[in-house]
Structure 1
Amino acid sequence: MAEWEYAASLGRLRSEEEQLEQLRQERGAYERELSERSSRPTALAELHLLQDYISFLDDRIRQQRQGVRAAEEHVQQRQVFLTDKMVDEKVWQNARSKSLQKYRQEALIREQNELDEIALRRASARR
């Protein structure tokens, strides 16, 4: 479960980063378009429209950066949670292994005691 949550948070982070990169690329394209149009005769309204859209993209980029930061924090939280779960799992496995080893040792002792008792009875019966 913790592994799935960690993997899901990594997927979300990757998605947020991809969206941020797309916004940056789109902003770069519009910035180049604005630069090209401003170097040739263009209506001022078109230049304002491009500049307004670039400002809109700047706002979206800021929001997306916040989304990336939130996703990074979530990944870190999931990583800590996963690490804790892995430690718990290791402790549990060690305890289980020790318990199994103790059970087997006790079973061997019981079996040996039973065999000793059987041998003692046979020896007593032969006399």
Structure 2
Amino acid sequence: MRFRYVYQKVVDLKSNEKTQAEWMLSAAVGHLQSEQRSLDRLFEDKRATFSVIQSEMENKASVIKLQELQRYVDYLEQCITSKLRDVKRAEIHVENKKSFLNSKMLDEKVWLKAKEKEQDKFQHEMLLREQNELDEMATVRFAMRAR
């Protein structure tokens, strides 16, 4: 006789939900990394622009050119501020997905533990049946020899 868990479909569902939660967390982490790379590029652009401003000042560049570069730096500052908000939202999203995954993992673990207990109970009952059959066979043999 083979063990069949009556709630196996629920266990499978919980496992699938956990897998989907893992995928969602992975996507959220990927989005966060993308936002952080974008922010790093903005900081690098700002540093590069400051370097250009420095070299233009040493070369006695025109005021118009320096004003243009300063406006670009101001624009980069606005972009950095916006991107920092995006990164923060992405971090919060990752934390939410981690929490969701933890709840799905706990849910799956509960169902797997219930299945394991049921399987242990089944195996124990099978061992008892087997032992009873062996005891009955021994009793019959003993009775046959006693005659």
**Shorter-chain TM-score range:** 0.7 to 0.9
What is residue 7 of structure 2 aligned with on the other side?
none
Which of 22, 47, 55 aligns to 2:41? It is 22
CA distances 1:77-105 after superposition (whole Å, capped 9, x unpaired): 11111112222222222111100011122
Shift of the alpha carbon at 1:114? Answer: 4.9
SS for the counterpart of 1:27 is helix
Identify the structure with bigger relative contact order (alpha carbons < 8 Å, sequence gap 6+): 2
Which whole-Å CA distance do the structure 1 matches of 2:107 and 2:115 have between them? Answer: 12
What is residue 98 of structure 2 aligned with on the other side?
79
CA distances 1:58-91 after superposition (whole Å, capped 9, x unpaired): 1111111111101111111111111122222222
Structural mapping, 1:1-127, within 5 Å: 1=19, 2-114=21-133
TM-score (norm 2): 0.73
The residue identity in structure 1 corresponding to 2:39 is L
Which whole-Å CA distance do the structure 2 matches of 1:87 and 1:97 have between them? Answer: 15
Structure 1: give runs of 5+ residues left out of the alignment: none
SS for the counterpart of 1:41 is coil
The residue identity in structure 1 corresponding to 2:94 is V
What's the Cα RMSD here? 2.1
Shift of the alpha carbon at 1:33? Answer: 0.9
CA distances 1:19-53 after superposition (whole Å, capped 9, x unpaired): 10110000111011112212332222111111111
Say which is worse superposed, 89-98 or 111-120, in terms of deviation.
Answer: 111-120
Identity %: 38
Shift of the alpha carbon at 1:115? Answer: 5.2
Which whole-Å CA distance do the structure 2 matches of 1:125 and 1:55 have between them? Answer: 103
TM-score (norm 1): 0.84
